[in-house]
Amino acid sequence: MENKSFSPLIYDYLKKYQEDPTSRIFAPLAEAYRKAGLLDEAIEIAREGLRVHPNFVGGRVALARALFEKRQYDEVVEGLAVVVREVPDNLVAQKLLAESCLMLGRIAEALSAFKMLLYFNPSDTETARVVAELEAQAYEDGVLVLRKDPAPQKMQIKPARDAISRDDRVLRAQAIAKIELLQTALVRIERYRHQNHS
């Protein structure tokens, strides 16, 4: 990197990073670079750090913030898709994802991310307004379509044993797999909610 005038905070983070390039200090260093307007440096240091810590959420968000400011919205969406799937209540990641999708004209994805933001922060009136506007636009543009309920079908009631009489080992394995998947998702959501609300 060329010699530039850095703030004392950047020097402090940079010194710590140089002492241990495998530490997670790269994320606050990237943030400090971004805040100083040194976007290329922020992106470079965040990418270097993520090579060592590819699953570090703070590093991914720091990279996404710098990419967002450089208007590299496709890369923001790509980088944050994993973050919001793993940590859905990371509001910074959700907002960056929502705004990037919006900038790319991906209304349905933007709406989904904004709704997730609203779910975790229901008192956010600005996000509620954006959700309402995006829903109206999505319906108007045909991105979202209201479906009518299908005509009710006559239900045939059969004995319960008929439903499980087909290869019950397969049916049981399928049911167990679905239950395990749901339990894993619930545990993950509860863990993040307890970590962030404790």
Burial of 93 (0-12, 13-18, 19+ CB in 10 A): buried
Mean pLDDT, residues 165-190: 77
Q: What is the pLDDT of residue 69?
A: 96
Decide which of 4 and 20 is more confident.
20
pTM above 0.85, yes or no: no
Task: Identify the structural domains of the chain with CATH numbers, from first to last.
Answer: 8-155 (1.25.40.10)
pLDDT digits (tens, 9 = 90+) for 131-159: 999 888 877 777 665 666 666 777 666 66
Residue 4 has pLDDT above 70, yes or no: no
- What is the distance of C-alpha 72 from the center of its chain? 17
Q: How is the chain split among helix, strand and coil, in percent rounded to 5?
A: 70, 0, 30
Q: What is the pLDDT of residue 193?
A: 78
Q: What is the pLDDT of residue 173?
A: 77
Among residues 116, 120, 98, the alpha carbon closest in space to that of 107 is found at 98
Residue 95 has pLDDT above 50, yes or no: yes
Q: What is the pLDDT of residue 2?
A: 46
Decide which of 53 and 21 is more confident.
53
Decide which of 171 and 161 is more confident.
171
- What is the distance of C-alpha 77 from the center of its chain? 9
Question: CA 144, CA 185: separation in Å to the nearest integer?
Answer: 26
Residue 10 has pLDDT above 50, yes or no: yes
- The one-letter code for the residue type at 104 is L
163 band by pLDDT with thresholds 50, 70 and 90 = low
